[in-house]
Amino acid sequence: MNEKFWKLVEFLIENNDFYSEILRKVYLESGNYSEIPFLTRWDIYEFGLSGTKSLVSKNLKIGYIFSTGGTTGKPKYIAYTFDEFELVSFYLSKCYDSIIDSDVVANLFMAGNMWASFISVNKALEKLGCTILPISGTTSIELIKDYLEYFRPNCVVGLPTQIIQVVSEKTDFLNKVYYAGENFLENQIDFLRNIGCKLIKSGGYASVDADIIAYQCDMLDLNQHHIFTEHQFVEIVDIENEIVLDEKGKVGEVVVTNLDRYLCPIIRYKTGDLAMWIDPKCSCDKPAIQLMGRFDDWIRLASYDFYYQDFAKALYPFQISLKINRSKNLITILIKNDEECKKMSKVEIIEKLKLVNWQLKEGIEENLLKVEVKYVQQLPMKNKKINVIYE
Ligand SMILES: [Zn+2]
């Protein structure tokens, strides 16, 4: 571990109740970084601003407090000093490296509700000297379309689901698209290219709690990113046994340590994102990862690894959930009752699946994975859509 990290440790030993003892032991005894326990989102609930506050350092002035949502409906908050937040927008501006001062940029990230994304992106755009339209994805679709038509920005930044709802043949003035938070599907990318978007690029890989982690250079593919090594220390950890994976091509959970966050420290934080180290085809001096989806979407069945996203991709645009029966190695695809989809035979669906993931292909062909299709009136819902159900 580098000097920057140990400087953070020295501060936390003196100023952070949660980390004081944990880090003192590691610092004074072994000096072994990997003895520091993982930080989970539950720890942030319990010991952060929504809980005991022992994770919040003393002797620092809180600048911003942001809500980082969460899946249980219970609010989770994270705080930054102004200097820390300034640094986030600095690294974010590096992600938007093709935006120049003559660009007119529509910011469609979600504003309000104590969310960080809109504000941090806006600050990053300011650094690039472009003209900014601070529209926000919380504005009605019709109004967003009106703003776009009137001001004719050449660049849009936002979430794919927001962007795809407001672009059309009419928005042929757009030539740059930066997105974050989720991925575009391949046919959405084709659509954007067809209407004239030459540059479609990730606006960086970030976690809501850990902030910006990685950026995409021009040579990398859509899910590939270089780590901001001066800002974050990244590990990829095996999902089952939590052993750190250094080999390329092995998928595990992304675990990050933010080297600049003193107020709400993020040390060995389990992001819930899956990725693997890759050999990038560029000559940048930063290590690169390929993102493989969310931890919640990962499925291992009969020793085959595949993802909910594989099925979503193969069956796009139909809405689906998956039911997994481990004892029978059976995947049941639940499809929201749709006449168009019913025109597709099971054989066709399976052929599409075999194209998106070679492990699915092998498992199905070896008859070790079984797939069945069911049409349902309603997909399983709770607070949000449940993608994968185990039975
Ligand atoms: Zn590169």
Does 348 share its domain with 278?
Answer: no
CATH of the domain at 339: 3.30.300
If you measure from the C-alpha of residue 192 to the centroid of ligand 1, how many angstroms do you get, rounded to a whole number? 24
- How many CB atoms lie under 10 A from the CB of residue 376? 12
pLDDT in tens, 206-246: 988 999 999 999 999 988 999 999 999 999 999 878 999 99
If you measure from the C-alpha of residue 251 to the centroid of ligand 1, how many angstroms do you get, rounded to a whole number? 20
Does 157 share its domain with 190?
Answer: yes
If you measure from the C-alpha of residue 123 to the centroid of ligand 1, how many angstroms do you get, rounded to a whole number? 24
If you measure from the C-alpha of residue 151 to the centroid of ligand 1, how many angstroms do you get, rounded to a whole number? 33
70 part of a folded domain: yes
If you measure from the C-alpha of residue 122 to the centroid of ligand 1, how many angstroms do you get, rounded to a whole number? 25
285 part of a folded domain: yes
Q: Half-sphere exposure of residue 238, counting CA atoms within 13 Å on the CB side? A: 8
If you measure from the C-alpha of residue 283 to the centroid of ligand 1, how many angstroms do you get, rounded to a whole number? 6
If you measure from the C-alpha of residue 215 to the centroid of ligand 1, how many angstroms do you get, rounded to a whole number? 9
Domain boundary among the residues 173, 202, 231 is at: 202
CATH of the domain at 198: 3.40.50.980
CATH of the domain at 218: 3.40.50.12780
91 part of a folded domain: no
Measuring CA to CA, how many Å separate 269 from each of 34, 43, 44, 233, 264? 12, 10, 10, 10, 12
* Strand duo 104-107 + 131-133: pairing: parallel
Does 323 share its domain with 352?
Answer: yes
The answer, yes or no, to whether residue 383 has pLDDT greater than 80, is no
CA 197 – CA 172 distance, rounded (Å): 8
Does 31 share its domain with 105?
Answer: no
If you measure from the C-alpha of residue 96 to the centroid of ligand 1, how many angstroms do you get, rounded to a whole number? 14
Does 197 share its domain with 163?
Answer: yes
Does 153 share its domain with 223?
Answer: no
If you measure from the C-alpha of residue 2 to the centroid of ligand 1, how many angstroms do you get, rounded to a whole number? 23
335 part of a folded domain: yes
If you measure from the C-alpha of residue 218 to the centroid of ligand 1, how many angstroms do you get, rounded to a whole number? 7
If you measure from the C-alpha of residue 278 to the centroid of ligand 1, how many angstroms do you get, rounded to a whole number? 11
pLDDT in tens, 126-149: 999 999 999 999 999 999 999 999
If you measure from the C-alpha of residue 68 to the centroid of ligand 1, how many angstroms do you get, rounded to a whole number? 30
- The confidence band for 386, taking pLDDT boundaries of 50, 70 and 90, is low
Does 68 share its domain with 142?
Answer: no
If you measure from the C-alpha of residue 203 to the centroid of ligand 1, how many angstroms do you get, rounded to a whole number? 14
355 part of a folded domain: yes
Domain boundary among the residues 265, 295, 325 is at: 295
If you measure from the C-alpha of residue 221 to the centroid of ligand 1, how many angstroms do you get, rounded to a whole number? 10
If you measure from the C-alpha of residue 66 to the centroid of ligand 1, how many angstroms do you get, rounded to a whole number? 31
Does 222 share its domain with 370?
Answer: no
Label each residue of the chain as H, E or C.
Answer: CCHHHHHHHHHHHHHCHHHHHHHHHHHHHHCCHHHCCCECHHHHHHHCCCCCCCCCCCCCCCCEEEECCCCCCCCCEEEECHHHHHHHHHHHHHHCCCCCCCCEEEECCCCCCCCCHHHHHHHHHHHHCCEEECCCCCCCHHHHHHHHHHHCCCEEEECHHHHHHHCCHHHCCCCEEEECCCCCCHHHHHHHHHCCCCEEEECCEEECCCEEEEECCCCCCCCEEEECCCCEEEEEECCCCCCECCCECCCEEEEEEECCCCCCCCCCEEEEEEEEEECCCCCCCCCEEEEEEEHHHEEEECCEEEEHHHHHHHCCCCCEEEEEECCCCEEEEEEECCHHHHCCCHHHHHHHHHHHCHHHHHHHHCCCCEEEEEEECCCCECCCECCEEEC
If you measure from the C-alpha of residue 280 to the centroid of ligand 1, how many angstroms do you get, rounded to a whole number? 7
If you measure from the C-alpha of residue 199 to the centroid of ligand 1, how many angstroms do you get, rounded to a whole number? 16
If you measure from the C-alpha of residue 97 to the centroid of ligand 1, how many angstroms do you get, rounded to a whole number? 12
Range of the domain at 377: 302-390
Does 104 share its domain with 192?
Answer: yes
Residue 302's pLDDT is what? 83
Domain boundary among the residues 182, 202, 222 is at: 202
The answer, yes or no, to whether residue 269 has pLDDT greater than 60, is yes
If you measure from the C-alpha of residue 226 to the centroid of ligand 1, how many angstroms do you get, rounded to a whole number? 7
90 part of a folded domain: no
pLDDT in tens, 1-45: 899 999 999 999 999 999 999 999 999 988 899 999 999 988 998
58 part of a folded domain: yes
If you measure from the C-alpha of residue 140 to the centroid of ligand 1, how many angstroms do you get, rounded to a whole number? 37
Does 45 share its domain with 110?
Answer: no
CA 361 – CA 137 distance, rounded (Å): 38
> How many structural domains comprise the chain?
3
Does 126 share its domain with 271?
Answer: no
239 part of a folded domain: yes
If you measure from the C-alpha of residue 306 to the centroid of ligand 1, how many angstroms do you get, rounded to a whole number? 27
pLDDT in tens, 154-198: 999 999 888 999 999 999 999 999 999 877 888 899 999 999 999
Instruction: Look up residue 343 and give its amino acid.
Output: K
If you measure from the C-alpha of residue 227 to the centroid of ligand 1, how many angstroms do you get, rounded to a whole number? 10
Does 192 share its domain with 324?
Answer: no
